[in-house]
Structure 1
């Protein structure tokens, strides 16, 4: 018991009357189809793994930055303070990337994720974040239909459980029409398509296990002359040496057929069995449930350079935008005030939304109206030494001069004519 509490940071024994089954439980239905759990489906079903990993990787790579709101409405990024330290090193075993990857992947599979947040004297920030698997939540203590008082947590291979108070648990979850405190796993919506894929995989495996091991054979007509003795042995030996695993110098050639023989080819036809189309349909369906454009996960039938470029930009607005907003709001509402009340976090989406260097350079020059980089700054991008002198100055065209505002004319007074009464 103490070992588990120590691993989490701190904990307490379950209050009297709070054992499993004695209080209303708010847990997620984790059972998959045909007795398969969500974890096993993720391990075995490539389409589900492809889409969930795609979401987690693309969110985790953004980076989670800490900002201090300014009086002018502009947020200034800071790398100092307990919140920045906590985000940079959430616990002794994870980086920021790993923490966010785990969070998004867990949300994708279960539609709910838990962070245990508690003070920690050993960390630089004075705090620690430990992800808690949804499968570890065995029971909860509720207060009516809205609040949860504590969570009962059990780790694998640990006999005793501990209780974590709700204020020490940061919960991320989606929407559930039956209970607003938990989400509803998207895997449930994929029950039919995943079940079909499981059946298809089992069928193909059975065909490989039970089917014949030949993909071609040779026939002789019924009225062909009797084939016995050295002639038959010679032909069979020649065929095996040329066209079977024991290849010889004639490997890859055309078989020489005698006495009206015919070459019959057998084999698996992916077109007739519609295997490729069914595989594409399965991946498209999984992607649609997670609001991912199928082109982004490998369905390239109608892809071209222009639409792939636009789909990449849409990824961080339409596809990942709601998830990013939800995570930011949960952290800024329930975590940041405990750690640093005057700071907030934001995902670094701007870096991903920026265009290519050529597009950005052209737009900046259009906005400024003149060159916006010195020669030395340009040389630095190519790892070339600075020249100094005029190379450190910003070049401006002679026909371009800054314009003064209407109230900043020479003499310090507006350039207006006095109107006589």
Structure 2
């Protein structure tokens, strides 16, 4: 759809109607600054455009988020932290046999696809790129395609967020996908289709709202602060001082002034004299003044403030990304809450997409479902796991052969049996780490 700047002339007194008597919107003379303003005005006033394609307001988030990954360290730090934590969670497929029985499935194409979603790319890398799209643009999309290079016979191909938009109906419900290609014209794919996608809330349409639109003032302020600090370091004197020249000193010629200025600049520049002390003449004095110092720019404080603002926007504790100092106890508490309170909603939304879109495509009419294996992320240290498992089963849980293999020791015959200590009886002690109380009568699990 072609577009051009539009100006609205001042409205005459009284309502304006067309030739059929229908009121026409009229406002004071004003120009649209960009596509977002024009698209927002049209949508807010209920004006429908014939063959609108992609709503004009959808281009605003694409422009705002286009280079943020490259130019904004705070955004990249927080987004990469979230994406790295989520993309390394393994996905398991289960069959719901009954309300009390679940069986893991490993040989179904659905499980094979989640284990190898792309033929020439690791699963973590594919999911990482998709999650970055989601976190920056508030939308993501993958296409399900047949493949002869994977065990499942299918592959998931990421559609970059900058190359697709979600078209919506009048109720802001997804109606089609608008795919932009660099090799040909854009295509509109009606839904449902073999695609996985998700989007956040948008005031108009179903394309999501990029967090970069909300954070752009803070990010712009950070950009200006960095540029200002660079200018201070580049142009400011290396010492807070001025050179005083006696009032009765002979006047400088142009040549003399240029010579002294060039010599002084050599001490300020990046040559072999930089950082030294200039040689003064004509009774000059180097006088220290209370001037603005580079430390006053509060470089570290400014960066931490931006990191904390971005982390809060993504609902991540600033201590986890180094934006705020923390103690061992509260950082450990934040780590325990990471996959429940902080990243739990992201994981649930992602899991819902797989179960509502991918499962019907590969296992229609089945009782299969996909679930994230959070235990792989929540495991404690080896000593914590050993104590927990030993307490849970009430006896040793590892064979001597398994223990030797874990320590990379050679196999020895006769070490396959599970050794049970004499002070542990089935139905006796609750744990091999417990001791039998003296008051326990004979015949109730205590040896005679």
TM-score bucket (shorter structure): 0.7 to 0.9
Deviation string 1:359-396 (CA, Å, 9 cap, x unpaired) is 1111222233333323332222111123333x433333
Give the aligned partner of residue 181 of structure 2: 155
Instruction: Tell me by how many angstroms 1:139 deviates.
Output: 7.4
Say if 2:391 is the partner of 1:363: no
Residues 392-411 of structure 1: matches in 2 within 5 Å?
A: 392-403=416-427
Question: Does the CA contact (< 8 Å) of 2:246 and 2:284 recur in 1?
Answer: no
Instruction: Pick the aligned partner of 1:297 from 318, 321, 331.
Output: 321
Instruction: Tell me by how many angstroms 1:287 deviates.
Output: 0.3
Q: 185-194 or 324-333, which moves further after superposition?
A: 185-194
What is the alpha-carbon distance in structure 2 between the residues aligned to residue 58 and residue 189 of structure 1? 24
Give the aligned partner of residue 324 of structure 1: 347
Change (3 A) 1:206 1:362: same
Give the aligned partner of residue 360 of structure 2: 337
Residues 80-119 of structure 1: matches in 2 within 5 Å?
A: 80-119=107-146
Residues 307-318 of structure 1: matches in 2 within 5 Å?
A: 307-318=330-341
Say if 2:91 is the partner of 1:67: no
Say if 2:199 is the partner of 1:176: no
Instruction: Tell me by how many angstroms 1:306 deviates.
Output: 2.3
Residues 275-286 of structure 1: matches in 2 within 5 Å?
A: 275-286=299-310
Q: 190-199 or 111-120, which moves further after superposition?
A: 111-120
SS at structure 1 position matched to 2:58? coil
Change (3 A) 1:87 1:361: same
What is the alpha-carbon distance in structure 1 between the residues aligned to residue 221 and residue 246 of structure 2? 45
Q: 133-142 or 105-114, which moves further after superposition?
A: 133-142
Instruction: Pick the aligned partner of 2:171 from 145, 157, 165.
Output: 145
TM-score (norm 1): 0.73
Q: Which consecutive unaligned segments of at least 5 residues does structure 2 have?
A: 1-48, 251-262, 429-442, 444-448
Residues 223-234 of structure 1: matches in 2 within 5 Å?
A: none
What is the alpha-carbon distance in structure 2 between the residues aligned to residue 394 and residue 147 of structure 1? 59
By relative contact order (CA 8 Å, sep 6+), the higher-ranking structure is: 1
Question: Does the CA contact (< 8 Å) of 2:166 and 2:207 recur in 1?
Answer: no
Change (3 A) 1:328 1:256: same
Instruction: Tell me by how many angstroms 1:225 deviates.
Output: 12
Instruction: Tell me by how many angstroms 1:47 deviates.
Output: 0.4
Give the aligned partner of residue 128 of structure 1: 155
Instruction: Pick the aligned partner of 2:296 from 254, 269, 272.
Output: 272
What is the alpha-carbon distance in structure 2 between the residues aligned to residue 26 and residue 124 of structure 1? 40
What is the alpha-carbon distance in structure 2 between the residues aligned to residue 192 and residue 152 of structure 1? 29
Deviation string 1:279-322 (CA, Å, 9 cap, x unpaired) is 21111000000011111111242x22222222222111111111
SS at structure 1 position matched to 2:408? coil
CA RMSD of aligned residues (A): 3.9
Change (3 A) 1:41 1:266: farther
SS at structure 1 position matched to 2:158? strand
Say if 2:52 is the partner of 1:29: no
Question: Does the CA contact (< 8 Å) of 2:65 and 2:210 recur in 1?
Answer: no
What is the alpha-carbon distance in structure 1 between the residues aligned to residue 147 and residue 60 of structure 2? 35
Deviation string 1:249-270 (CA, Å, 9 cap, x unpaired) is xx99999999997685999745
Question: Does the CA contact (< 8 Å) of 1:26 and 1:182 recur in 2?
Answer: no
What is the alpha-carbon distance in structure 1 between the residues aligned to residue 181 and residue 279 of structure 2? 68
Instruction: Tell me by how many angstroms 1:38 deviates.
Output: 0.6
What is the alpha-carbon distance in structure 1 between the residues aligned to residue 214 and residue 378 of structure 2? 31
Q: Which consecutive unaligned segments of at least 5 residues does structure 1 have?
A: 1-19, 227-236, 405-414, 416-421
Say if 2:403 is the partner of 1:373: no
Question: Does the CA contact (< 8 Å) of 1:66 and 1:79 recur in 2?
Answer: yes
TM-score (norm 2): 0.69
